[in-house]
């Protein structure tokens, strides 16, 4: 289920946007943006906290805490409703378009009377926006691209939102008397980055108790259709959920059938037909006799078709059938293989938790090593200085002795790193002599996204060529549904990473998942290594590693491809990159 924290975070982010749209104080808007981030990343459910407990959250003062309590008492916040009433609904609809800021949305409404996306598209094509201050051909391109992103997303949600809901449904239905097995299937089991609807599968001899419990779940707002084998509902988050109940002895066939993509299932059914068989959600049957051959497990179904069990994340018809027939399916990386996280933040910059808390949760996850990589000084809003970073390094070394020393608490080694900003020319925050003191450096693009293709490509390639840059963080900079990836020659960047020994990050944050699976497949052919990192800004974000691993699996990666599955000694050899050669030159 979506946490109460996320609801409040979304409300305060909207409030910050409304303040900006109405020309309010920029500092005040920033206060609510910070509060939104802090509440969204807080470990405790804010609906259970009193005024004092809420004020213990970073960036949440008495006034903001009071608004949180008001929201849970009344279902709304009067200050937010007041600002909403001042903004035409059309303007609020336009602000949902990625790349279109609130001030531009208001200008479109006031100057041209545009209040719908269709009206905006028509105005762009008629070149009516070009007479407005701050608009031009490049702005028009961005707006059309943002509309495309919005429409492509449709009713889809990020994978973590769907996962929270699906796991809660499975947990509740599993407790229903007569339910023998229950699991989510479909695109969620394949861990696609966005989910249109959730498929839940249950095995039982009688379906009625399950259907009854399903329709009475607290977040179900509408029963769309109800039957003996399938019931469809819509939830208060707008997500559609289908429950299918199948006979217990058809579990494997049903799970296989409702997990694979349409293309994958066509291929498996073709294999069945060529062997005189018929594959359905109820089993694999002999066409002539009609007799059931196998159905109880997915392994049985695939084996009878001449295939090994194919991991759900590969079931997209991207070569997995052929690889299976040849016995060449990869031994995919799993979350249990991850030995450490190489990109995380603390409250020294834009994180929400102090170093000690982040390290403690990392140790609880059983990591062998863990890196702290706060931002460098080129992101000026983070207020980083050489002195602050060096002081943190001493603190990290002290904790490392406690966690990693012989007889220490769990044997976890702490690495001190930084997330460097890749500047417009490819340079990074500090000179070489300062960078040499870090155990590792992640370098990321955080600005100037609209540079030309050649400039962006050369910018990242130059960062790869820096001997102190180990990982390119969130390489395309995309934010799913909100910001497109940069227009760069990815193949040239992939080749540079392979040549220089620079890893590419698979950022596990659900709104990034960058690199995406298709890019991973391309990069892997260049011989690139990867780092699956959480980019955690709060302790709860460390658990989002699962989504990065799922994306890595969709890119066919093995442990050998992912540097943070390696033993510490091998990892440290990789992180030394070309530094020894530079020191001897």
In the three-class reduction of DSSP (H, G, I as helix; E, B as strand; rest coil), residue 445 is classed as: coil
User: What gap in Å lies between CA 235 and CA 165, rounded to an integer?
Assistant: 9
In the three-class reduction of DSSP (H, G, I as helix; E, B as strand; rest coil), residue 530 is classed as: strand
pLDDT digits (tens, 9 = 90+) for 341-395: 999 999 999 898 999 999 999 999 999 999 999 999 987 666 889 999 999 999 9
Instruction: Let me know whether 443 and 545 are in one domain.
Output: yes
Q: What is the pLDDT of residue 192?
A: 97
CB 485 within 8 A of CB 511: no
Mean pLDDT (whole number) for 164-191: 97
Beta bridge partners of 35: none
Instruction: Let me know whether 556 and 574 are in one domain.
Output: yes
User: What gap in Å lies between CA 60 and CA 269, rounded to an integer?
Assistant: 56
Residues 120-159 as b/e (b if ≥16 CB within 10 A, e otherwise) read beebbeeebbeebeebeeebbebbbebbebbeebeebbbb
CB 438 within 8 A of CB 416: yes
355 is a domain residue: no
User: What gap in Å lies between CA 517 and CA 498, rounded to an integer?
Assistant: 18
Instruction: Let me know whether 549 and 455 are in one domain.
Output: yes
318 is a domain residue: yes
User: What gap in Å lies between CA 64 and CA 325, rounded to an integer?
Assistant: 59
Instruction: Let me know whether 136 and 163 are in one domain.
Output: no
User: Of 246, 261, 287, which one is at a domain's C-terminal end?
Assistant: 246
For residue 60, give the CATH number of its domain. Answer: 1.10.150.110
Q: What is the pLDDT of residue 582?
A: 46
pLDDT digits (tens, 9 = 90+) for 289-321: 999 998 999 999 999 999 999 999 999 999 999
For residue 269, give the CATH number of its domain. Answer: 3.30.210.10
Instruction: Let me know whether 226 and 257 are in one domain.
Output: no
351 is a domain residue: no
DSSP-derived letter for residue 284 is: E
Q: What is the pLDDT of residue 428?
A: 96
302 is a domain residue: yes
Q: What is the pLDDT of residue 3?
A: 64
Instruction: Let me know whether 239 and 285 are in one domain.
Output: no
pLDDT digits (tens, 9 = 90+) for 80-113: 888 888 877 777 777 777 777 777 887 888 888 8
Range of the domain at 199: 157-246
CB 478 within 8 A of CB 514: yes
User: Of 153, 168, 185, which one is at a domain's C-terminal end?
Assistant: 153
pLDDT digits (tens, 9 = 90+) for 10-64: 888 888 888 877 778 888 888 888 888 888 888 788 888 898 989 988 889 999 9
Cα–Cα distance list, 576 to 230, 542, 552, 572 (Å):
56, 26, 24, 6
Strand 340-341, strand 292-294: pairing: unpaired
Q: What is the pLDDT of residue 405?
A: 58
381 is a domain residue: no
For residue 236, give the CATH number of its domain. Answer: 3.30.460.10
Instruction: Let me know whether 115 and 226 are in one domain.
Output: no
Instruction: Let me know whether 512 and 448 are in one domain.
Output: yes
557 is a domain residue: yes
Q: What is the pLDDT of residue 408?
A: 44
CB 172 within 8 A of CB 213: yes
Instruction: Let me know whether 20 and 74 are in one domain.
Output: yes
In the three-class reduction of DSSP (H, G, I as helix; E, B as strand; rest coil), residue 200 is classed as: strand
CB 405 within 8 A of CB 412: no
Number of domains comprising the chain: 4
Instruction: Let me know whether 54 and 147 are in one domain.
Output: yes
Q: What is the pLDDT of residue 406?
A: 42
For residue 426, give the CATH number of its domain. Answer: 3.20.20.140
Instruction: Let me know whether 182 and 302 are in one domain.
Output: no
Q: Following DSSP, what letter does each residue of 90-118 receive, concatenated?
A: HHHHHTTSTT--HHHHHHHHHHH---SHH
Instruction: Let me know whether 121 and 133 are in one domain.
Output: yes
User: What gap in Å lies between CA 441 and CA 347, rounded to an integer?
Assistant: 18
177 is a domain residue: yes
User: Of 103, 120, 153, which one is at a domain's C-terminal end?
Assistant: 153
383 is a domain residue: no
Strand 240-246, strand 230-235: pairing: antiparallel
């Amino acid at each position: 289920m979506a946490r109460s924290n996320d609801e409040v975070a979304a409300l305060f982010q909207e409030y910050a946007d409304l303040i900006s749209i109405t020309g309010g104080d920029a500092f005040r808007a920033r206060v609510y943006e910070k509060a939104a981030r802090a509440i969204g990343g807080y470990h405790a459910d804010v609906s259970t906290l009193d005024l004092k407990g809420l004020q213990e959250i970073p960036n949440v003062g008495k006034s903001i805490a009071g608004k949180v309590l008001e929201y849970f008492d009344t279902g709304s916040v009067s200050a937010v409703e007041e600002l909403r009433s001042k903004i035409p609904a059309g303007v609020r609809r336009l602000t949902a378009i990625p790349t279109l800021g609130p001030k531009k949305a208001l200008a479109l409404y006031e100057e041209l009377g545009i209040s719908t996306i269709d009206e905006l598209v028509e105005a762009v094509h008629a070149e009516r926006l070009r007479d407005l201050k701050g608009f031009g051909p490049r702005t028009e391109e961005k707006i059309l691209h943002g509309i495309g992103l919005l429409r492509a997303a449709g009713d889809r949600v990020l994978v973590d939102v769907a996962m929270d809901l699906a796991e809660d449904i499975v947990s509740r239905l599993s407790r229903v008397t007569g339910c023998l097995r229950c699991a989510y299937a479909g695109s969620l089991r394949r861990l696609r980055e966005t989910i249109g609807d959730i498929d839940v599968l249950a095995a039982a001899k009688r379906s009625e108790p399950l259907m009854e419990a399903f329709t009475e779940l607290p977040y179900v707002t509408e029963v769309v259709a109800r039957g003996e084998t399938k019931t469809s509902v819509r939830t208060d988050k707008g997500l559609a959920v289908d429950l299918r109940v199948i006979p217990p002895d058809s579990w494997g066939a049903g799970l296989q059938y409702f997990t694979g993509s349409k293309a994958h299932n066509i291929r498996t059914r073709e294999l069945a037909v060529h062997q005189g068989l018929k594959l359905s959600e109820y089993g694999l049957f002999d066409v002539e006799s009609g007799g059931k051959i196998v159905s109880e497990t997915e392994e049985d179904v695939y084996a009878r078709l001449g295939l090994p069990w194919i991991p759900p994340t590969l079931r997209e018809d991207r070569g997995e059938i052929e690889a299976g027939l040849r016995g060449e399916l990869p031994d995919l990386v799993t979350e249990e293989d991850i030995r450490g996280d190489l990109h995380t933040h603390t409250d020294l910059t834009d994180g929400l938790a102090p170093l000690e808390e982040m390290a403690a949760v990392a140790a609880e996850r059983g990591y062998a090593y863990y890196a702290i990589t706060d931002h460098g000084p080129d992101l000026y809003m983070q207020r980083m200085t050489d002195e602050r970073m060096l002081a943190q390094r001493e603190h990290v070394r002290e904790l490392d002795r406690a966690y990693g020393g012989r007889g220490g608490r769990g044997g976890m080694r702490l690495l001190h790193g930084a997330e460097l900003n890749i500047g417009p020319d490819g340079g990074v925050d500090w000179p070489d002599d300062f960078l040499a003191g870090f155990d590792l450096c992640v370098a990321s693009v955080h600005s100037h996204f609209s540079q030309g293709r050649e400039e962006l490509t050369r910018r990242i390639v130059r960062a790869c060529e820096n001997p102190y840059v180990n990982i390119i963080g969130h390489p395309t900079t995309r934010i799913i549904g909100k910001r497109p990836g940069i227009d760069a020659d990815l193949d040239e960047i992939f080749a540079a990473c392979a040549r220089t020994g620079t890893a590419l990050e698979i950022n596990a944050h659900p709104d990034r998942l960058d690199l995406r699976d298709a890019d991973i497949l391309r990069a892997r052919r260049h011989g690139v290594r990867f780092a699956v990192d959480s980019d955690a800004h709060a302790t709860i974000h460390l658990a989002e590693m699962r989504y990065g691993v799922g994306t890595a699996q969709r890119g066919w990666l093995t442990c050998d491809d992912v540097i943070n599955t390696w033993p510490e000694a091998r990892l440290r050899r990789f992180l030394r990159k070309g530094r020894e050669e530079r020191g001897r030159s």
